Every structure is written in C-alpha cells, then in structure tokens.
Amino acid sequence: MNNIDRREFLEMSVAGAGALASSRVAGATPATAGAQNETARPMRLGLIVDVDENPEAALGKVHELGVPTCQVLANTYGPEAAERLRQALVHYHLEATSLVVTGPGPEDYDFYKGPLTIGLVPREYRATRIEHIKRASDFAQVMGIPAVQTHCGFIPENPNDPNYKETVDAIREVTGYCREHGQQFRYETGQETPVTLLRAIQDVALDNQGLNFDCGNLILYGKANPVDALDVVGRYVQGIHAKDGLYPTNPRDLGEEVPIGQGKVDFPKLLSRLREVGYRGPVTIEREISGPKQMEDLKKEKTYLEQLINRLWS
C-alpha cells in the first residue's frame, strides 16, 4: 500500500472502527494491560484463527467452538480486508484481542532454519518485516484491535552478540510505532528463553511491551517449564496460547505438539499461577493441526479449560 492509499485507508476507516460491536478503543495501556483491563472478570476463552483467506469461515469456526474472543492472524491489509473482517466480527459477536503477524518471507519453525528465518533476528528479512509490522499496526488501529503480536525469533542468548543489539533496536522501532497508535506490542513466546525475553524487554525499554505466552512452545523448543517461566516474565503476560506438547528428545526436531492434557504443560498449575501474577486476559486455544480432528480436539480442550477456569474462580 503506498502512502496515499494508506492515508485514504486510515481516513475511511475512522468511522468504521467504532462500528465494531465488541471493539475497544485502542487507548494507551500499560504493560499489564491484560490484567488491568479485565480485573473483575475471569479468563475468557478464545481461539486463534487465520483470517487472510476467508474471515467469514475462520470466525465461523470460533463461533462453532462457542468462545467469545479470538486472535486474528492476518497479513493482508487494506480497506476490503478490514471491511470483511469487521463484518464477520460483528456478525458473530466476537472480540479480536490481538492481530497476529508473520513474515513476509520464509519462516521455518525448527532448530536449524528457524534462527535464519524467523522474526526480526535474521538481517536478511529485518527491514521488510519492520515495515510489515508497521502496516499491521495501521490495520489494527483501523480495526480497533489493541495489540500486535509476532515471533521476534531466536533472540541471541548472548547479550554481547552484535545481532542481539540489532534485534533489540528493531523491536524498539516496531514497538514504538505501535505505541504511537496506543497499542501493545506482544512477543509470541517460543524461540527464546524467558530470561532472554526479559532482557530484551528491559533493553527495548518501552512501556507497551507484553507477551503472548505460548505455554506449549516453551516445551516444544525446550526453553522452559511454562509454570516456572512465569517467575521470570509473568508480569508481562498479556495473552496466552493454551497449547500442549512434549519436550524435544533429539536436538534436530522440535518436540511434538499434542492435544491439551496429553503433554507436559500442567494446566491446573499454569492457570493458577497466571491468576497469582494478576493475569485476567483471554485463554486463547491453539491447535496446530487442520481438518475435522482439529475441531474435535478443540471442543474437548474448551470443555477441559472451562472446568479449570470455573474451579479457579468459584
């Protein structure tokens, strides 16, 4: 989208942003937005869906599951995409809690190509991805979505690595852009250890950073036990992905993602600990398979998580 298109896009959408029945004004919120926005409410369930191809079908799936919130993965931005997504959100009475961004370019979620391809770490893709995240932030503003969320990549564990500072500078640039729009910038956890995430957040040094805490990823990448990880970064959690998995048992492949309850994430302890650190935001389910088995698993997972949340808040 060129500059003129962008301006027109933003102008035509100002009125539209208010039309979302469930949208909140994307006002400036502190790093603990997830907790502070929903202090009195228990954690509501959600589902992450890819809305690029067919937002109506994607949000229809959220509706079928019967959860009130969703995270929308979208990499196509513009008036038409905004209008279709807006209409689908209104139609199904759903609240989009974050805009999830990937790419452009290849992103291989493994131990070998991953460090070369994911997020803002690889120099080769950094500039185009910074621009892409800024366009995502524009789109989120139009849609009234309060946060932009992405994998930053295998942030170097060694703080003396020159690419650590470069990556931090890149994260600061996109976080600052989101800040101007009153949005949160959320790191999707996965490729980094919790202490490296904490270091990056402190070094970026802006007040609109948070985590989308993917508890399954911490296991799949062998980076941490998610319950213990909350000791390190719990105060920054603004969203979560309820996902389960097994630890990697060879150094070449990520661990296996499995249905919730069949992996290593201790969900009763995790939700309890999230409550202790003040988290009141959505519990967004992620199941990284497709086809009928996905909905079958999702329905069981929803029932299980509902029971845990009800027990926690009874």
Shortest Å, Cβ 241 to Mg ion: 4
What are the residues whose beta carbons fall under 8 Å from the beta carbon of 7, sequence distance 6 or more?
A: none
Place of tokens 């996965």: 190
CB of 9 to Mg ion, least distance (A): 28
Q: Would you call 284 helix, strand, or coil by DSSP?
A: strand
Q: Give CA–CA dist 23/142, Å, rounded.
A: 11
In the complex, the smallest distance separating the C-beta of residue 101 from Mg ion, rounded to whole angstroms, is 12
For the CB of residue 217, give the shortest distance to Mg ion in the complex, in Å: 6
Cβ closest to Mg ion, residue 65 vs residue 142:
65
Give dist(CA 59, CA 50) in Å, integer: 9
The radius of gyration computed from the CA coordinates of the chain, to the nearest angstrom, equals 18
Name which of 134 and 241 has its Cβ closer to Mg ion.
241
Count of CA atoms in the C-beta half-sphere (13 A) of 227:
10
**How far lies 89's CA from each of 21, 76, 78, in Å?**
8, 17, 16
Task: CB nearer to Mg ion: give 214 or 244.
Answer: 214
Phi, psi dihedral angles at 135 (to 5 degrees): -65, -35
CB of 65 to Mg ion, least distance (A): 17
**Euclidean distance between the first and final Cα of the chain, in Å?**
49
CB nearer to Mg ion: pick between 214 and 301: 214
Candidates 173, 193, 181; CA nearest to 120 is 173
Asked if 278 contacts 235 with a C-beta cutoff of 8 angstroms, the reply is yes
Q: Is the dihedral of CA 225, 228, 232, 237 positive or negative?
A: positive
129 vs 243 by CB, closer to Mg ion: 243
Please give the residue ranges that form the binding site for Mg ion (CB under 5 A): 214, 241, 286
Q: Report the residue number, 95 or 286, with the smaller CB distance to Mg ion.
A: 286
* Smallest gap from residue 214 Cβ to Mg ion (A): 4
CB nearer Mg ion, residue 214 or residue 297: 214
Contact status, residue 89 vs residue 177, Cβ threshold 8 Å? no
Find the shortest distance in angstroms from Cβ 212 to Mg ion. Answer: 7
